[in-house]
Every structure is written in structure tokens, then in C-alpha cells.
Amino acid sequence: MRKIVFILLLICTVSFSMDGQNRFEGSVVDENREPLAGAVLILDGQRSAVSGNDGRFTFGRITAGNYNLSVSFLGFDTYSAVINITGDVDREIQLNPRSHLTSEVVVSAYRAGLNSPVAHTNIRGEDLRTISVNDDLPFLLQMSPSLVATSETGIGVGYTGFRIRGSDPTRINVTVNGIPLNDSESQGVFWVNMPDFAGSVEEVQIQRGVGTSSHGAAAFGATVNFRTTTDAFEPFAEVASTAGAYNTFRNSVRLGTGLLNDRFSFEGRYSNLQSDGYIHNAFSDHESIYLSGTYHMNHSFLKFNVIHGDQKTGISWWGVPQEMLSVNRRYNPAGVYTDLDGNEQYYRNQTDNYIQTHYQLFYSHAFSNRTDMTAALHYTRGDGYYEQYRQNQRFSSYGLPNVFIGHEEITRTDLVRQKWLGNDFYGTVFSINSQLLPNVSVSAGGGWNRYDGDHFGNIIWARHATNMEKDHEWYFNNGTKTDYNVFGKLNYRINNLNTFIDLQVRGIDYDMTGIDDNLDDLSQGHSFTFFNPKAGVFYEINPNHQSYVSFGISNREPTRTNFKDANLDPDATPLPERLYNVEAGYNFLTPSLSANVNIFYMYYKDQLVPTGEKSSVGYDIMTNVEESYRAGVEVQWAWRPFPAFRWDANFTLSRNIIRDFVETATDYDDDWNEIERVTQLGDTDIAYSPSVIAGSMLTWNFFRNASLGLNSKYVGEQYFDNTSSSTRQLDAYLVHNFSLKYQLKTSWSKGVEFQLMVNNLTNLRYESNAYGGNWYEQGVENTWAYYYPMAPRHFMGQVVIRF
């Protein structure tokens, strides 16, 4: 497979480097015909250039034809036009000052630019939504390089997630309009709490590696920046309805007023999603609302966003036991219990329930055409619980006395419990951008964010409950976390060389108080201060060839679980992790072919991984391993040999290694006594890190308003623990999704779009995720494992009407 991919890339590169020799050049000027240095020009969405100090730009080696040109510069309206190339063309492009400041400035300080020495991918919201008609964001993003999506329900809705370069969600920094999205304690992102959020995404940028400075959780493998819908100056409406396999239905309505009285604009979306899921009882019942209002002033705007999600989801996070995988792939052990007659029953309300609302207030002001600033306030409220039926539970485990029925002492009971989380997250972020000189730009910013979360549990029913008050609370604890940072960025351009420096200081104060669900006191406090420097250079060899190299350092504090599991054992308290990241890349650009090769090396100091070790009080803990690394190459390209056909593809080859890994396991002797078994395994593969990842998107517009698409994803073998054992390994898979789209022009609407999806076209049996471990009996190794199967071939359809 590797040879095939390299050969295809070589063929494309060689054949299209021999394109025609037409030249498109010119200058970018303002309304007074003064040159604008640093304007970004994009030709046909693939090829880019930046105007020099004299405002001049050049595109070379262009074949004859029509091309869409976009020119943007801070403080000016974006220029768009169709350019006809029939020979050498020289054109002056005049940009007009913006009459209204637009929402792009909200995120400009946190994003990598075209000439940033950072491995990144930009995806437009409208392109994102064409990947699938029903999937949540992780599966809509899965065609980007080095990204692997996972699903607990088997169909890409409900509980989903993704890893980038093998880095799990707790190591990926995620922001929405520059506001942190990662949960402060777990450091993960729960996409199930933001149903159909993709419907309000204008653009997403994925930075791989350390990336550029951002707010919130540490970027310890990748950064994902979402920008929600910008201000539409024309009114619009859209109604979308999806239906398909496993009783999946999604309906949404989007509305926008356009610009009212040259001052106001409003936008809203409502979505409802229901699905049974592929896995038994992995249902989804979700609602979401997005509201946005903007007040435009001279050189300023005030913007308020509300993002609301309400979800009820059947618990399926336990996975399918390995012994059931070949018997019933849809089996779900969550909620299974045995009644008093010995019959297996299913508790129907084994569910996760959560309501989360985000409020964002932005004020942006342009001091001039070259300097702007943004300040934001944000507040997020989350409330929810998950409900479980638990059998044969000890009263003492819940701080309750035993029950006497007559003279018989009852020490155990069946019960139903709810584990609750109620939290507040609030703070402020700010940034300023300035083009100090034609070849010098700076950005600076910072943020202060506070998290306050209550964790508590209630028993809502018990078989033997004579000594229990209603909704008995058996534990309560609180976590507070303050996260603050400041950063500064400098871009300095000398001719074709752009130098980038990014410095950030980040501080964390984290405190936990109260009793955990095992009745242990988990009270503790931790503080950290990190310095995260990054630097790099970007060199434009000529308009067709670019190269870059960068180096960055990122530091990450342990999660709540890391601290909690090591509690009461000072020797087990985890240390913060550190990442040293080197990226080097090359871009090749022609009108019909753009390609990128990126080489990365990520060296971890004290990375936290499960080793099988336990704390002195018997809990499984994450252990800092002294050395580990990820090294590899990412290749991606977009090829359009003729207007009706496009091929976007990428692949990653990597090694992901823990140096001198030491496994600690339990060995049971003849009398079932526990013996600690320590094994030196040498270099092992990091869990969940396939050495080969590839994606392909083929699009053919075979008719004026009709197109076919074939999206393919290959994920190589990956281990789900760190021992490199073949008994704890996910098989490689290659899955294809087919789409047929038709756009109908009508007199009563802007258009009606029909789309049919065939997911898992080849009916492949595969699993997207798993977890497990091992134990020994008299020296013989045994494996336990749970898997997350994906659905076989299934169909989805969508109708979208736009007004």
C-alpha cells in the first residue's frame, strides 16, 4: 500500500509540474493606490501567494482557463473575482476599507496563517457538512491527516471522539471562537453535549503538533480551532431533514436576518437528533440551539452567542466483551442484571443525561486598517447525571448501615444510583493584532478562566432501603481550577523568508475537596507554571515551492483522574508532562495540484501512561515514563486534473515508541494469592497509535447539478495497551462511504439538495476502538478486552431546502 501511495503522488507531481507556462502577476493597493504588503491571495482555493513590500505578487506556471481569485487583508473587504488566464496577465487589485468589522478578527490571533511554519489544515464548514449527513464532528473531521475517529454507538452519533497522531482527546486543545472547550478537570471534550454543532461551524483549523498558542488545555499533540458562523449580510433560511438506518432522524432549521438598518444581524439554528444506534440501547435523543446576534458600529462590533445542548443517551461506553464479539456484536452489558428468579433482565434507563449552555460575548474594535483587538467574556453551565442499576452492592460501600429483616442481617442490596456533575466555567480572553510595518506583524493576548464543579451521587432506589432517606447522597466533592495565560507572537518577513516566534506563559491552580464515590477523602491541591516557547521559519522558494521548519515546547498538567487515583500515596503523585516538537515541511503548488509533505518528531518527557502499577492503597494509576516519542511523515494532496473531478488524499507513516517500558501485572498462584509480576519489555508501541493512517476523497461532478463521492479511510493495526501484545490489538481496517448528491433549481427557493449516503460500502466488520488488560495465572498470561464495533453497510438520506 505504501508503494502505491508514493507512486501515485510521484506520478501526479511529475505530470503536473509540466503544466503550461502562463504567468499571473500584479499588485495589491488600497483606495489611494498605495501598496498593501502582506495581502493574502488564493487562486482557486488551492494555491496561495502573499504580496511583497511593494504590493507585488506572482503566480507562475498556470494553464489557460478561468480561476477564482480571493484577496484578503486586515481591515479591508475581501476581494473576489474570476480571472481569465489566456497568456501572461498583470493586474492591479484595489481593496476597499471595510465598512463593517467582521467576525474573523475574533480568532485571528490564535490561528496559523498561510505562511506559518505549522502543520495545519483548514476546512470550511460547508465542506465539513458534505462529508456525511448525520455524523457528529469527530467523523466529519476524520478525512484530515493523522486523525482517527471512534464511536461507542457504532454509527458516528452519540458518544464519539478522535485522536490525532495517536494523541487522545485529553491532549488536544479545542476552542470555539477562541474560548476554551476542553473540560477543565478531565481535559477532554464531550461532543455528545454539543449535538449538531457542525451546523453552525463556519471554519475549523486543525494544527498538528504543538501548534500556536491558544487558551485552555495544553496542546499536547494537536489544536482544533472552531469559528462559528460569521455575520451574513443577506437574509437566509435553510431547512434540513435526514433519515436512515437504525431509526436515525435529524431535523434542523437555520435562519438569518441579514444586516438590519446597517447595524444589526441575527442568526439561529435548532436541531433535533434521534437514533437507536447500532449497539443495543445506545440510543440518542438530542436537541441543540445556536443563537447569535451582532451590533455593528463604526470600526467595531458587539457579538453575543448562545450554544445550547440537551442530550439523553443510552450508556454504551463499556463496549462489547471480547467473548461476545463473535456471538452478538450489538450486545451491550450496561444495564444487564439478574432478577430474583435468575432471569437476565435489562434496565432500560441506563442512561447519560446532560444539559450544557455556552454564553459568549465579544467586543472587537479596529483602531486602524492595521490594528484591531478583541475582548471576550464567557460562561458555561453544565448539569447532568448518568443512571445505573447496580447489583449486590455492599451497604458499607455507600456509608450505610446493614439492614435487619427479623434476625437476618442484610449486608448487600440491588440499587439504582445517579452520579451527578454540576459545574460553572467562566472567564475572559483578549487579543490584539497589529501590522507594525509592511513586513512585521505582532499578536498578543491572554486569558483567565475559572472552573467550579460539584461531583455527587444519589441512590434513588434500593431493594432493601429501610434505613435510607429518599435520594440518599453517599458522596460529594468539589473541584476548582483556575487557568491563566499570556502570549505574544511575532512574524517578521524578509523578502521570501518569514520568521515566526511565539511565547506563552501558562499557570494552573487546581484544588479538590470532599469525599469521592469510594468514600475516600480526596482533598488535595496542585499548582503549576509553564513556559511554552515556539519558533520557526517559512521560506517561499518560488510561487510553486515553499518550505518550513519549526520547534516548540508544550507542558501539560495531570488530569483529575490522574490525581484522584494516586491520592493517599505521595510517591504515586503524577508529574507534569513535557513535549518537544520539531516539524519540517514542503509545499508544492500548481493550479491543478497542491501537495504537502510534513515530517514530525515529538519527544515526550514524563508522559503519563498506564503501566499496570497500583498506588499503595490499591488503585490503578497512570505512571510517568521517562522517555517516549512519535516520529513520522504526513503527506497530503489535492489534485484536480479537470474541473469536474477532484481527488483529496493524505497518509501518515509513523513510529510511536515508549523507551524501556516496564509492565507491572498481577500473577495468581494455586491458592489465588496475588503476586506482583514485573516485566522489562524494552521498547514498545504507544497505545492507540497506528503506524499507518490514510484518507481519500474522490469527487466527480458528472452532471451540471449532480456529483458522486467516495470517501475512504484506512487505519492500520493499533495496540490498546502499551505492551505491544498481539492479543490486545485492533485489526487494521479500510472502510468506504459512498455519496450521491443532486441539486435542484426551483423558482420558489434558492435550491433543493438531495443527498444519499451508503456508509461502510463493502459491509466490513470492524471495530473503531477497544480497551483491555491482562493478568497471569501461575505464570500464564490471560487477556480481558472490550470492543466498540461499527455498523455494517447502512443508508442515510438528506433533503436540504435553502431560501
Domain of residue 10, CATH code: 2.60.40.1120
Are 768 and 163 contacting, i.e. CB atoms less than 8 angstroms apart? no
The answer on pLDDT for 621 being more than 80 is: no
φ and ψ of 19, to 5 deg = -65, 175
Are 171 and 188 contacting, i.e. CB atoms less than 8 angstroms apart? no
Report pLDDT for 619.
58
126 domain residue, yes or no: no
Report pLDDT for 255.
95
666 domain residue, yes or no: yes
pLDDT band at 614 (very low <50, low <70, confident <90, very high): low
CA distance linking residue 351 with residue 304, whole number of Å: 33
Element (H, E) at 4: helix 2-16
CA distance linking residue 663 with residue 672, whole number of Å: 21
φ and ψ of 304, to 5 deg = -130, 125
pLDDT band at 628 (very low <50, low <70, confident <90, very high): very high
Last-in-domain residue among 97, 114, 133 = 97
Q: Sheet containing 56-62: which strands, arranged edge to edge?
A: 56-62, 22-29, 89-94
Give the three cell numbers for residue 514: 470532599
Are 538 and 548 contacting, i.e. CB atoms less than 8 angstroms apart? yes
Mean pLDDT of 400-407: 89
Region of 373 please: left (phi>0), alpha (psi -120 to 50) or beta.
beta
- Domains of the chain: total: 2
CA distance linking residue 554 with residue 506, whole number of Å: 10
**Domain residues for 772?**
236-802
Per-residue model confidence as pLDDT tens digits over 477-497: 999 999 999 999 999 999 899
Q: Sheet containing 40-43: which strands, arranged edge to edge?
A: 47-50, 40-43, 65-72, 79-85
φ and ψ of 406, to 5 deg = 65, -125
134 domain residue, yes or no: no
33 domain residue, yes or no: yes
Cα separations in angstroms, 748 against 239, 745, 754: 14, 9, 16
546 domain residue, yes or no: yes
Determine the Cα angle at 291 with ends 286 and 296, to 5°: 165
3-state percent breakdown (helix, strand, coil) of the chain, nearest 5: 5, 60, 30
For residue 3, the 8-state DSSP code is: H
Q: Where are the beta strands (DSSP E) in 212-350?
A: 221-228, 236-244, 248-256, 264-275, 284-297, 300-314, 320-321, 336-338, 344-346
273-300 exposure pattern, b = at least 16 Cβ within 10 A, e = fewer: bebbbbbbbbbbbbbbbbbbbbebeebb
What pairs with residue 308 in β-bridges? 289, 357
Helices (H), 76-147: 125-128, 137-140
Are 742 and 705 contacting, i.e. CB atoms less than 8 angstroms apart? yes
Mean pLDDT of 253-267: 92
The answer on pLDDT for 630 being more than 50 is: yes
Nearest residue to 225 via CA among 292, 176, 162: 176
Per-residue model confidence as pLDDT tens digits over 536-590: 999 999 888 999 999 999 999 999 999 998 887 888 889 999 999 999 999 998 8
CA distance linking residue 267 with residue 245, whole number of Å: 31
787 domain residue, yes or no: yes
Are 693 and 146 contacting, i.e. CB atoms less than 8 angstroms apart? yes
How much is the CA Rg of the chain, to the nearest whole Å? 28
Are 668 and 777 contacting, i.e. CB atoms less than 8 angstroms apart? yes
For residue 101, the 8-state DSSP code is: -
The answer on pLDDT for 683 being more than 70 is: yes
Cα separations in angstroms, 89 against 27, 60, 93, 202: 11, 10, 12, 33
Helices (H), 646-729: none
149 domain residue, yes or no: no
Are 793 and 736 contacting, i.e. CB atoms less than 8 angstroms apart? no
Report pLDDT for 615.
61
pLDDT band at 394 (very low <50, low <70, confident <90, very high): very high
Report pLDDT for 535.
97
pLDDT band at 617 (very low <50, low <70, confident <90, very high): low
At a CB cut-off of 8 Å and minimum separation 6, what does 277 contact?
A: 153, 154, 155, 157, 158, 246, 283, 284, 314, 316
Last-in-domain residue among 81, 97, 113 = 97
* Max mean pLDDT range (259-273, 375-389, 621-635): 375-389
Per-residue model confidence as pLDDT tens digits over 180-200: 999 999 999 999 999 999 999
CB atoms within 10 A of CB 462: 21
CA distance linking residue 364 with residue 445, whole number of Å: 13
> Cell match 473587504: residue?
77
Nearest residue to 60 via CA among 593, 589, 441: 589
Report pLDDT for 102.
64
Report pLDDT for 616.
57
CA distance linking residue 786 with residue 768, whole number of Å: 11
Per-residue model confidence as pLDDT tens digits over 71-124: 988 667 788 888 888 888 889 999 887 656 666 767 676 778 778 899 999 998
DSSP string, 521-537: B--EEEEEEEEEEEEEE
Within 13 A of 90's CA, how many CA atoms are on the CB side? 2
Per-residue model confidence as pLDDT tens digits over 446-459: 999 999 999 999 99
CA distance linking residue 271 with residue 137, whole number of Å: 14
- 6-10, 81-85, 508-512, 727-731: which has the minimum mean pLDDT? 6-10
Report pLDDT for 138.
96
Share of the chain above pLDDT 70, in %: 94
138 domain residue, yes or no: no
Last-in-domain residue among 68, 97, 126 = 97
Q: What is the mean pLDDT of the chain?
A: 91
The CATH number of residue 474's host domain is: 2.40.170.20
The answer on pLDDT for 9 being more than 50 is: no
